[in-house]
Chain A
Amino acid sequence: MKRVYLDHAATTPVDPEVAEAMARVHRDVHGNASSIHAEGRAARAIVDEARERVAAVIGAEPSEIIFTGGGTEADNLALRGVLKAHRGERDGLVTSAIEHHAVLDTAHDLEREGVRVAVVGVDATGRVDPRAVAGAIDGRTALVSVMAASNEIGALQPIREIGAICRERGVVFHSDAVQAVGAVPFDVRELPVDLVSLNAHKLHGPKGVGALYVRRGTRLATVQTGGGQEKGRRAGTENVAGIAALGLVMRLAGERRERESVRQAALRDRIIDGVLARVPDASLTGHRTERLPNNASFVFRGADGPSLVMALDLEGFAVSSGSACTSGDTAPSHVLLALGLDAETAKGSLRVTVGRATTSGDVAAFLAALPPIVARIRGAAAVPA
């Protein structure tokens, strides 16, 4: 069966050029980037070049880039590292109700260690109100963490406004931008943001490698200790091939972003318009225009999301219900509840995210397959148990 992959917010297929670059590193460069000898220097050169590429794409200095084992680790380092650096002075963390679990669960873990956590809500389109953030900041706030774009509903967040507030109040500002960088303009020279989480696998790169941008002068304590790599800020032998891939991924994303985001937004709009026209009682989640170019997300009242995902999978379509989850646990998404949806409606969520290889034929096939599946699942759900 021909497969149609429409779950690029979960992860993306690795670009062949990136896969080849990684294979080349694995084949030809075996040194430890910290070693003095020629093999070590060869590895170091690759890491240095990747750092320059990553920095260049977001307008940063290479020294402001810390490589990590992915976006979740970058989020952990940002939250834990900033709070730890402020220990004894400031103990407040402000974040939003629609953050990825990498941020929210870390915040709650820090809460158990005594950090004061304030969680601000969102409006019905999934956008954080900067004034709510301003209201949540107090004299003890060390860090504000608000994502650049929602992984579930694609809503772009007003990070420029939030960052300006943080500047004014002298509070460090972190943004998880794993969904945003490479999809929307993102330049730290003009965005008032101090820490930014990135990863490779949302941009046609490998899993397990990411980076944290740390603006020069930002106080960040070490969380992972060991051999002192990344200037002591993230110990562990460098994942040279992964880092090379991240560098290339960012370069390719930078080159392709403008054209590709216009193309993907057109596909996204066809999905949104097509679904809303063809499926009765369907609602778009997130903002109609202020959203990631590749994200179309919906709720279908009376149909449960996991069943929709399963039925579509059996017909060759890979989509998701909110975030990637396979546990058979149908608890509604915290993001959809934060929009003010009731739990029953929130259970009927479906996220469709396009990518570089998605064609208009894929979108047409999806739009043809979806309506009868929704109708069937709604019909089955209506039968009393």
Chain B
Amino acid sequence: MSRVFVAMSGGVDSSVAAALLAERGEDVVGVWMRLVPAGHDAGAPRCCGTDEAGEDARRAAGVLGIPFYALDYADVFGRSVVDRFVRSYAAGETPNPCVACNRHVKFEALLRDVVAKFGADRLATGHYARVAHDGARHRLLRAADAAKDQSYALYMLGQRELARLALPVGELADKAETRRIAARFGLPTAAKPDSMDVCFIGGDYRDFVRARAPEAFRPGPVERADGTVVGAHAGIGTLTVGQRSGVGVATGERVYVLRLDLDRRAAVVGTREEVAATTYEVRDVSFTGSAPDERFRTEAVLRYRGTPLGGWVDVRADGATLELDAPALVAPGQAVVWYDGDEVVGGGTIARPRH
């Protein structure tokens, strides 16, 4: 029988994913990923203790009667998610840590271990998205419940990953159904609230970044595109391209962050018309299947649960150019995901707007 590992976070979605697979009679193994190092001071649990989320996952696995293990990915998570997150903010970008985690940790390090180390066939997660296995082709689709859809954060998956992926909760009608199923299985996570924040940061992300990249929190000038200084800001790390608030400008005009000049620590602001662009460079481009035509029509989603925007993509060897039908505000570092109807075609990282 084929064996499937389920990445269990301790939340209701991944618990239900495990439950649904176990109910189908599959050989299910639950794993919880340690993403931040266990404490080593005297008060920290050293042996036989995970943190609270790990304990929730363990209890859920116990209720389901499936084997359960905690695996340590703190190293790779620290390097590929946390460090990048800090560097990205310090460089004036707006990173998406969930995308980085999916790319480097869940669907690279974990998936590789699941297959190569533990000899399993598939990996399942609690993401709200669907995988359609049409013969040799594996397609990534929006969740049945559009309101919960998380396919945006999975765009980096290719055929190799999709072939081994199971996303059972993406088939459910809505979150209420997920909770009903959790209750039916007696899962202790049934009523657990959804997590919203960046998982590795307790409070304000700015404090987190400041502690690790203090140089990004030195004040600098706020300028208009023509060089006129109109105010001061508290640091590049506090700013997001495209944002309206947080800029110390008192012109009475609605201005947005247009770009960040790292060398001079300057923030350039402008009106919505100045800031919103139609053309964006995209780096780290990937496709879920074989690469489409050099130029293709798409619906681009520029933020988690964002509205799809019509446009064209020009694919090159080293990236792509996104040309939107209408101007939009996007921060560099964010992911752009290209859809064809409900299917994820691919995506990449927004580099910088071209004016």
A217 at the interface (CB under 8 A from B): no
| Chain B 1-20: CB-based contact to A (< 8 A → 1; otherwise 0) | 00100000000000000000
Q: With the chains together, A324 CA to B116 CA distance in Å?
A: 25
Which residues between 362 and 385 of chain A lie within 8 Å of chain B, taking CB atoms?
A: 376-377, 379-381, 383, 385
Chain B residue contacts of A306, Cβ below 8 A: 69, 71-72
Residues in chain B near residue A314, CB distance under 8 A: 3, 29, 67, 118
Contact partner, B32, options A313, A323, A328, Cβ 8 Å: A328
Residues of B within 8 A of A331 (CB): 38, 40, 46
- Asked if A311 and B112 make an inter-chain contact with CB atoms under 8 angstroms apart, the answer reads no
Map CB proximity to B onto A284-321 as digits: 1 under 8 Å, 0 otherwise: 00000000000000000000001100110110000000
Say which residue of A328, A381, A385 sits within 8 Å of B71 (CB atoms). Answer: A328
Beta-carbon contact of A380 and B46 below 8 Å: no
A380 to B120, CA, bound (A): 13
- Measured in the bound complex, the distance between the Cα atoms of B71 and A331 in whole Å is 12
Across the interface, do A376 and B49 meet the contact criterion of CB distance under 8 Å? no
A3 to B40, CA, bound (A): 34
> Closest CB of chain A to B41's CB: distance in Å?
11
Decide yes or no whether B48 CB sits under 8 A from chain A. yes
Q: Which residue in chain B gives the minimum CB-CB distance to A105?
A: B42
Query: Which residues on the B side are within 8 Å of A169 (C-beta)?
Result: none
Partner of B47, one of A108, A307, A327, A385: A327
By the criterion of a CB under 8 Å from any partner CB, how many residues of chain B are at the interface?
Answer: 30
Q: Which of B56-94 touch A at CB < 8 Å? A: 67, 69-72, 76
Q: A108 with B42: in contact, given A307-B113, A310-B118, A380-B112 (CB under 8 Å)?
A: yes
A307, A325, A330, A377: residue with the most chain B Cβ atoms closer than 10 Å: A330
- Contact A383-B116, Cβ < 8 Å, known A101-B47, A314-B29, A328-B50: yes
B116 with A328: CB separation less than 8 A? no
Residues of A within 8 A of B67 (CB): 313-314
B108 at the interface (CB under 8 A from A): yes
When the two chains form their complex, are residues A310 and B69 in contact, meaning their CB atoms are under 8 A apart? Answer: yes
* Residue-wise interface mask of A (128-162) relative to B, using a CB-CB cutoff of 8 A (1 in contact, 0 not): 00000000000000000000000000000000000
| Pair A377/B117 contact, Cβ less than 8 Å | yes
Q: How far is A310 from B120 in the complex, measured between Cα atoms in Å?
A: 12
Contacts of A326 in B (CB 8 A): 48, 50, 69-70
Give the chain B neighbours of A325 by CB distance below 8 A. 46-48
Which residue from A108, A109, A311 sits with its C-beta under 8 Å from B119? A311
**How far apart are the CA atoms of A47 and B61 in the complex, in Å?**
40
Docked complex Cα distance between A105 and B42 (Å): 8
Please give me the residue from chain A that is nearest to B49 by CB atom.
A327
Kindly state whether residue A329 has any CB partner on chain B within 8 Å: yes
Q: How far is it, in angstroms, between the C-alpha of A330 and the C-alpha of B29 when the chains are bound? A: 20
Does B309 count as interface, using CB distance less than 8 angstroms?
no
A-B contact count (CB 8 A): 78
Residues of B within 8 A of A328 (CB): 32-34, 38, 50, 54, 69-72
Q: A306-B72, A314-B67, A326-B48 are in contact. Are A376 and B32 (CB under 8 A)?
A: no
Whether B40 lies near A311 (C-beta < 8 A) is no
Choose among A108, A329, A376 the residue that contacts B116 (Cβ–Cβ < 8 A).
Answer: A376
Q: Is B47's CB under 8 angstroms from A323's CB?
A: yes
CB distance from B60 to the nearest CB of A (A): 16
Residues in A whose Cβ lies below 8 Å from that of B42: 105, 108-109
Q: Which of B313-331 contact A (CB under 8 A)?
A: none
**A-chain residues with CB within 8 Å of residue B113 when the two chains form the complex:** 307, 380
The docked-state distance in angstroms from the alpha carbon of A154 to that of B119 is: 31
Closest A residue, CB atoms, query B80? A385
**Contact residues of B between 113 and 164, Cβ < 8 Å to A:** 113, 116-119
Q: Is the interface of B mostly helix, strand, loop or mixed?
A: mixed
Residues of B within 8 A of A377 (CB): 117
CB pair A327–B48 under 8 Å, yes or no, is yes
Cα–Cα, bound, A346→B6 (Å): 29
B-contact bits for A89-115, CB 8 A (1 contact / 0 none): 000000000000100010011000000
Given contacts A310-B69, A314-B118, contact A327 B45 (CB under 8 A): yes
Determine whether the beta carbon of B112 is less than 8 Å from that of A101.
no
Which residues in A have their C-beta under 8 angstroms from that of B117? 307, 311, 376-377, 380-381
How far does the alpha carbon of A383 sit from the alpha carbon of B108 in the complex, in Å? 11
Say yes or no: A329 contacts B46, CB within 8 Å. Answer: yes
Is B72 a contact partner of A385 (Cβ separation < 8 A)? no
Q: Return the CB mask of B202-215 against A: 1 if under 8 Å, else 0.
A: 00000000000000
Q: Is B109 positioned at the interface, with any CB of A under 8 Å from its CB?
A: yes
Q: Give the residue of B37, B46, B112 whose beta carbon is less than 8 angstroms from that of A383.
A: B112
Q: Which residues of A contact B46 (CB under 8 A)?
A: 101, 325, 327, 329, 331
Decide: A324 and B72 in contact? CB cutoff 8 A: no
Once the chains are docked, how many angstroms separate the CA of A109 from the CA of B43? Answer: 11
**From B105, which residue of chain A is reached at the shortest CB distance?**
A385
With A311-B118, A376-B119 already in contact, the answer to whether A330 and B72 are too (CB < 8 A) is: yes
Q: How far is the CB of A133 from chain B (nearest CB, A)?
A: 25
Contact in complex: A324, B47 (CB < 8 Å): yes
Q: A324 contacts B48, CB within 8 Å?
A: yes
Indicate if the CB atoms of B34 and A329 lie closer than 8 Å: yes
Contacts of A381 in B (CB 8 A): 117
Q: Output the nearest chain B residue to A309 by Cβ-Cβ distance.
A: B69
Contacts of A108 in B (CB 8 A): 42
CA separation between A185 and B47, bound complex, in Å?
A: 31
CB-defined contacts of A383 to chain B, threshold 8 Å: 112, 116
Specify which chain A residues have a CB less than 8 angstroms from the CB of B45 in the assembled complex: 327
- Pairwise interchain contact B108-A385, C-beta atoms closer than 8 A: yes
* Distance between Cα atoms of A329 and B35 in the complex (Å): 10
Nearest residue (CB) in A for B47 is A325
A385-B70 Cα distance, complex, nearest whole Å: 19
Candidate in B76, B116, B117, B118 with the most chain A CB atoms within 10 angstroms:
B117
> B residues within 8 A CB of A101?
46-47
Partner of A327, one of B50, B108, B112: B50
Q: How far is the CB of B64 from chain A (nearest CB, A)?
A: 16
- Check if A379 sits within 8 Å of B72, measured CB to CB: no
Beyond A307-B113, A329-B72, A376-B117, list 14 extra A-B contacts (CB 8 Å): A101-B46, A108-B42, A109-B42, A311-B119, A314-B67, A324-B47, A327-B34, A327-B45, A327-B47, A327-B49, A327-B50, A328-B50, A328-B72, A385-B108
Can you identify 20 A-B contacts, CB atoms within 8 angstroms? Answer: A101-B46, A108-B42, A306-B71, A310-B69, A311-B118, A313-B67, A314-B29, A323-B47, A325-B47, A327-B54, A328-B38, A328-B71, A329-B70, A329-B72, A330-B72, A376-B119, A380-B116, A380-B117, A383-B112, A385-B108
